[in-house]
């Protein structure tokens, strides 16, 4: 009987160690740890059929990796994260714009709270609308023209120490 118990214990320990291994991007984004990040690295299409890429946020000397869905078309941007019931801590949605503009978002038909990060052309975060309230139709606007908006799960920016002035990198803004 001792053999199967020892084997089960060893497998459980191995699984626990691999989940927290350095470089594990999900763990890094979940806990705020540092990780390797390759902005623009493609990922499989999301369940909603959107293109996904890796995006990196430089904050307080840390690199925070996220896998984000890219809402590229007007239809995708209009729908955004409406009707979604959850969003993992290492996931998000990026809304890139063809040119800079003052961006205004609302939470109509959005079931979960979100953090909205307004991103300047140089990749710095202009402002954050933290914990936007589900279903609220009040506008959340950038204070100046921006090139993109990143939506993360509500409270993630504060939990990870992300603040205005931090830098967001993805393939389109690497030039």
Q: Find the CATH number of the domain harbouring 139.
A: 2.60.120.1140
Contact of 97 with 112, CB cutoff 8 Å: no
CA–CA distance, 94 with 140 (Å, rounded to integer): 16
Q: How many domains does the chain have?
A: 1
Give residue 37's pLDDT band: very low, low, confident or very high (50, 70, 90). confident
Contact of 68 with 44, CB cutoff 8 Å: no
| Strand-strand pairing, 91-101 and 62-70 | parallel
7-11, 18-22, 92-96, 158-162: least confidently modelled range: 18-22
CA–CA distance, 15 with 102 (Å, rounded to integer): 46
What are the tokens at 162?
A: 């992300």
CA–CA distance, 1 with 166 (Å, rounded to integer): 55
> Can you give the pLDDT at residue 147?
98
What does the pLDDT look like over 104-135, one tens digit per residue? 999 999 999 999 999 999 999 999 999 999 99
Domain carrying residue 142: 2-173
Contact of 109 with 82, CB cutoff 8 Å: yes
Contact of 154 with 130, CB cutoff 8 Å: yes
Q: Which of 155, 84, 171 is nearest to 116 (CA)?
A: 155
On the question of pLDDT at 145 being above 50, the answer is: yes
Q: Is 6 helix (H, G, I), strand (E, B) or coil?
A: helix
On the question of pLDDT at 92 being above 50, the answer is: yes
Mean pLDDT of the chain: 83
């Amino acid at each position: 009987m001792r053999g199967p118990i020892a084997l089960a214990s060893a497998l459980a320990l191995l699984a626990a160690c691999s989940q927290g291994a350095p470089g594990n991007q999900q763990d890094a984004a979940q806990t705020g740890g540092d990780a390797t990040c390759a902005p623009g690295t493609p990922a499989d299409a999301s369940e909603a059929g959107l293109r996904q890429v890796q995006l990196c946020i430089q904050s307080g000397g840390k690199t925070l990796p996220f896998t984000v869905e890219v809402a590229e078309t007007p239809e995708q941007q209009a729908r955004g994260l409406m009707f979604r019931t959850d969003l993992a801590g290492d996931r998000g949605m990026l809304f890139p714009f063809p040119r800079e503009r003052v961006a205004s978002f609302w939470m109509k038909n959005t079931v979960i709270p979100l953090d909205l990060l307004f991103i300047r052309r140089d990749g710095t975060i202009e402002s954050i609308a933290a914990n936007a309230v589900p279903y609220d139709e009040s506008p959340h606007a950038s204070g100046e023209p921006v090139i993109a908006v990143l939506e993360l799960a509500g409270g993630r920016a504060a939990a990870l120490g992300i603040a205005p002035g931090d830098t967001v990198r993805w393939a389109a803004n690497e030039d």
